[in-house]
Structure formats: structure tokens, C-alpha cells
Structure 1
Amino acid sequence: MTGSDAPWRLLVLPPLGEDLIRGLFQPLGAEVRLPAVRDRDGLHAALADADLVVGDFTGKLSIDAAAVAAAPNLAFVQMPSVGVDSCDMDALTAAGVAVSNAAGANARSVAEWAFAATLNLSRSLTWADRQVRAGAWPQMEAAAHGADEMGNRRVGVLGMGAIGTEVVRLFEAFGCPVAYWSRRRRETGVYKEIDELIATSDVLVICLPLTPETRGLLDARRLALLPQGALLVNVARGGIAPDAAVLEALDGGRLAGAALDVYDEEPPPADHPLRRHENVLLSPHCAGATRQAQLNIITQVRDNVAAVVEGRPVANVVNAVDPLIRRR
């Protein structure tokens, strides 16, 4: 078959088993392909005749400007994540390639992680666990290290997308006064300008996408605005609150603790000082990795691939390109 009669050529990049990938996508009627080698050259070779791409949630096989140039037939990229920072959006938009994400699919999972991590830091649960496992019994030291009730702590949320909205709901249900900052002000909730929000937040939860505007947003100057002994929870991207700025705030005492699911470099180097910091809760970028969230993401990705094959508009396009995907 040729032209419009040919099956769509779908390149699937996540590091999943081939049988699983083919089982998910071949029934949709697309011709499923995987890169022969998971490196830059392998990606570019596989992109040479790809029409559609399911992106790599690890970020290793990024769809950057060079990848877009290597893909003359590419018409659609579906990211199996909320974040699209591994895609060069300018290059893709200029080429007329629509990009969709999995908006809202893991909002509950990520918000629950942020809430649980805050409780962990507030009560020094992981610290106490390490002490007891090492043979100590820090019953008297626990309160001095940090054991605070959450109910009256002021919570600030940066970003009011699906995740931020769910974070606000969970903390408010727990009795915390919550305010937010977002690039777009909502009709409900307590809005504060960003510096005011930071300065009045005992707990600051980052839920923003990583964009050129948000990269480095929480630098050392902004983190220094936090009340003494505040907590930082990052479920967004490491580049928004750079590791060095977080370490400076921790070592200076401005931050009493930080819960990090994301880092400047993933995974962080084995000798990274965050790995050794007593007051940091570390997580391997898995805040959204619940069974429910994964099923939601798979469903959204498959639905959009099916929409392309069947000639219907796709959902959740995040760049200014027509959601009705046409061959290039």
C-alpha cells in the first residue's frame, strides 16, 4: 500500500518490552517500530520514516531539533507523561508536528506523593527509620530534629494545573491554609504573587512545567525568601529549583527539609551531596508511578494513536498545531 492507504508508521520509544509494546499498539492498525539501538544515532535512524512517535518518558531519547530534522514524515508526537520538556517545541511546531501529553493522568498520584512526602518531612519519619535501623533509639531527639503537626502550616503551591489543583485539595482537606501562584490566575482559591507566596509558605510545593520561563525560577535568591525552617517539595522538574540552590538553602538552615522526586540530572551522580544529606527525602522520579496512573497514561496514549489511525482529532495538544493529524 502507498500514500493514504498505507498504515501509519508508529515509532515507540519508551524502554518497555517489545511484546508489551506490540500488544498495546498493533491492534490499533499502526505499523509498530522500535529503535534498533537506544542512542542518538539509533533514534535518528528510526525517525527517518516514522509518521508517529510515542515519546520516551525517561528523556534519554529526546525529540530535539536534530531529531525533528531527521524525521521528514513526522506528523505527531504523543508523550506518555505530563511533561514535554524532552521535546523541542519550537522545532516541532515550526515543522507542523502536533505534540500531545497525558494531561491529568497522574495528577492524583503525584499530589498524593507530595502530601505524603510533606508529612514524612514534618514528622522526620525517614530520619527516625534510619536511626532505628542503625541501632539507635532517638525517642527524645525526634522532636528536636523536627516533629511538627501539619494542620496550621501555611502551604504554597506553585502551578495550578491538574496536579497543583489536586495538591491544593488534599492540603485544604487536611486543614492547612493554602495559597497558590500560577501564570494564569484562577477564579477560586487564594492567589499570591510569587515572591509573596514564597515568603509566606511553611511548605512550598512545586507543580510547574519546565519551560524556558520556569527554568531556575527558584534560585538561591528566591529560596532565601522562605520562612526559616520551611519545607520544599518538588514533584515538577529539577531545573526549576536547581540542586545547588536547594543545597545552599538546606545547609544555611533556611530549609529544614526537602522532598525531591526530580533533579538537575537524572539519576544524580553517585557522589552528589543530596544523596548524603540527612534532611532530604529522595525519590527516583516515581511520584506518578502508581498502577492507576500508569493505566490512565496508557489509555490516553492508545486513545490518541487510535484517533490518528481512524482520522479523528487527538486530545491534549500542547502546541499550536491542528489536532487532526494529516500525513506529511
Structure 2
Amino acid sequence: MELRCAILDDYQEVALKMADWSALEGKVRLETFPDHIEPEALAGKLAGFDIIVAMRERTVFDAALLSRLPKLKLLVTTGMANASIDTEAAEKLGILVCGTRGVAGPAAELAWGLLLALMRKIPMEVANLRAGGDRWQLEVGSGLQGKTLGVVGIGKLGRLTCGYGRAFGMDVIGWSRSLTPEKSRELGIGHVATLDDLLGRSDVVCLQLKLTAETHGIIGRREIGLMRQGAILVNTARGPLVDEAALIEALRSGRLAGAALDVFDQEPLPPGHPFRALPSVVATPHLGYVTEETYRVFFADAAEDIAAWLAGRPERTLNKPAGEKAS
């Protein structure tokens, strides 16, 4: 009897094309879900599945939901960390959680693409050009050269972003709790002692932080008030890093000149949300990791994780239920 595997949030319907799943033939029946399943419907939709492949943090697998999935034995998440999965609860319920490798570059590339689009008013000009408007040019954009870029979070993505800023002739400064003056010099960026200092000195603030209990809401009303008049905020990391209401207020008042966003408190973003309409916002639907290169790694590793689990040799494990061998 074949096991059932649900592949969630396959928005582009490409999961089965991005990897070789043939090793699972006759053992596992793959079923893809191209639409996001709302929380209230999850338990009913997924109760009959033995295996689930989750796309990043789009679906919250908390203890309450996991306890309502009686057949689930293997939960694969793309990436090697997922704050939306309660791995301890899964462990207690005998559910093995495994991860996949990923590709770091695309998310930083998107952050820079959004920043350029915002600064040069590209979406507005493209829409006008396509519509055949009476006016040939609509707006006067702004350049990046000579401006100060403040990068908050100097991990892999943060270091890439610093490099982009330097390549565009920006004065780059960075802050993280572990960043030292020596490391800043190695990266060729300026060092600031505090986040407040970075916010006050930057024309563009780019967030490249992981979402943790400490970083949740790290940019609130007070922090936005410290930013330069007319500054730009870029967030392609996680929505809850920023107080959404405070950001909307600052954009509406003109306190901030704009925001480039790929992440939100609620995803998918509700139809009537202000971020969909504010002219000073350039936003994309959480596309940071959505590239062919990343998907090929995600889904190839997911297929490998399932095959390894079936063979009794699980790989890339993120918890250790009774009877499972962690790797």
C-alpha cells in the first residue's frame, strides 16, 4: 500500500518537475497543493497523509495542528530551520522533521532589485509605458551612489547586501549584536555601536535578520522615529521584524520616503491591505527564495529525505522521535 505525501503551497505547480521523484514510485503517492490552505482547513485536508513537504514557513505546524494529523510520520521543510514548525511537539508525537539545503544568494538579489525598483520608480514607469499613457515620463527617481546603506544583520545575506552596496558606490555601515570593529574592517564597511546609531545615519536601512524572540518587532515606532526623514526601509527577511502599523503610518505621513517589501505579518497578504495600494511601497509576494536554482535544491533534497526515511536511514533530521536515528 502506497504512503500518501502532500506537497504544500506549490503555487507555480512545478514541484514535480524540479526533482527526480522516481525513487518513490510504487511506495509513495505524491499529491501537490497549488493553493495556500487556510489554517482552519489544514487538519481536514491533511489528516490522511503520512508525509508532508512544507514550503518554508508558509504553514504553521504547531502542537495543536500536529496532534490532529494522526497518520503523519515525516514532515519535510525546505531549508534547515523553520520557526513555524514545533519540532519538540512533533518529536513527542513520533513525527520526524527533516530539512533541505538551500541557496543564499537569491534573497539578497531580490532585496537589491526591490530597492532599485523603488528608487527609480520602475513599476510606475513600466505600467505607464505598457498602458500607452499620454506622458512619456512620470517621475524623477533617486540614485544610490554616495548615499549611506545601513545593513541590520551581517550573516550570509547581510554580507552579500553589503557587497552590493559597495559596488553601487554607497557608504555601507552594518550592525548586529556580534559584529565587531575588526570584522567590519574585514568586510570593508563602517562599524556602528548600536542599532539606533545605524538608523540615524542611514538613507537606506536593509533588514537581513533571522526572526527570533529577540528580533520580533525590532523596528518599531520608536526605531522608525530615529530614521532620517525621507529614508527607505527594505525588508526581505521576515515581516514581524517590523511593526506594520507604525511603518504604514510613517509611509502615509511621508516620514519615510518608501519601503521595499517581500515579507509581511500575514501571508498571503489580504486583498485590502495598505501595502497593496500605497504608492511609496514596492512589494512582492515573498519571492526571495523563489528561483529555479533554489527550487531544484529544495525538491531534490525533499525527495532524498523521503527515500532515506523509507530506507531507515533518515538524513538532515531536525528532531529525534523515539526510534529514529538523527543524522
- 1:35-114 alignment to 2 at 5 Å? 39-43=41-45, 45-46=47-48, 50=50, 52-57=51-56, 59=58, 61-71=59-69, 76-81=74-79, 84-92=82-90, 99-102=97-100, 105-114=102-111
- 1:239-258 alignment to 2 at 5 Å? 239-258=240-259
2:293 aligns to what SS in structure 1?
Answer: helix
The 1:18/1:255 distance shift into structure 2, 3 A limit, reads closer
Which residue among 106, 125, 130 is the counterpart of 1:128?
A: 125
- 1:163-182 alignment to 2 at 5 Å? 163-182=157-176
Residue type matched to 2:16 in 1?
L
Residue pair 2:19, 2:300 contacting (<8 A) in 1 also: no
Query: C-alpha displacement at 1:126, in angstroms?
Result: 2.1
Unaligned runs of at least 5 residues, structure 1: 2-6
Residue pair 1:102, 1:316 contacting (<8 A) in 2 also: no
The 1:65/1:43 distance shift into structure 2, 3 A limit, reads farther
2:183 aligns to what SS in structure 1?
Answer: coil
The 1:120/1:86 distance shift into structure 2, 3 A limit, reads same
2:142 — aligned with what? Answer: 148
Q: Deviations over 1:183-235 (max 9, x none)?
A: 54377335543222222221122222333333222122212211111111111
How large is the Cα RMSD of the aligned pairs?
Answer: 3.7
Cα distance in 2 for residues equivalent to 1:162 and 1:99: 24
Matched, 1:162 2:156: yes
Which residue among 92, 102, 112 is the counterpart of 1:115?
A: 112
Query: C-alpha displacement at 1:179, in angstroms?
Result: 2.7
Residue type matched to 2:104 in 1?
A
Residue pair 1:14, 1:57 contacting (<8 A) in 2 also: no
1:4 — aligned with what? Answer: none
Matched, 1:27 2:23: yes
Q: Deviations over 1:80-138 (max 9, x none)?
A: 247623323453466575645445x2421111111111112222222333445462436
Corresponding pairs, count: 310
Residue type matched to 1:298 in 2?
F
Cα distance in 2 for residues equivalent to 1:246 and 1:44: 36
1:188 aligns to what SS in structure 2?
Answer: helix
1:11 — aligned with what? Answer: 5
Cα distance in 2 for residues equivalent to 1:295 and 1:121: 30
- 1:150-299 alignment to 2 at 5 Å? 150-185=144-179, 188-189=183-184, 190-192=190-192, 193-299=194-300
The 1:236/1:136 distance shift into structure 2, 3 A limit, reads farther
1:119 aligns to what SS in structure 2?
Answer: helix
1:85 aligns to what SS in structure 2?
Answer: coil
2:111 aligns to what SS in structure 1?
Answer: helix
Residue pair 1:238, 1:262 contacting (<8 A) in 2 also: yes
1:54 aligns to what SS in structure 2?
Answer: strand
Cα distance in 2 for residues equivalent to 1:129 and 1:240: 30
Residue pair 2:56, 2:78 contacting (<8 A) in 1 also: yes
Which TM-score applies when normalising by structure 1?
0.77
1:142 aligns to what SS in structure 2?
Answer: coil
The 1:101/1:155 distance shift into structure 2, 3 A limit, reads farther
Cα distance in 2 for residues equivalent to 1:11 and 1:273: 37
Cα distance in 2 for residues equivalent to 1:119 and 1:218: 22
The 1:211/1:288 distance shift into structure 2, 3 A limit, reads same
Cα distance in 1 for residues equivalent to 2:221 and 2:252: 12
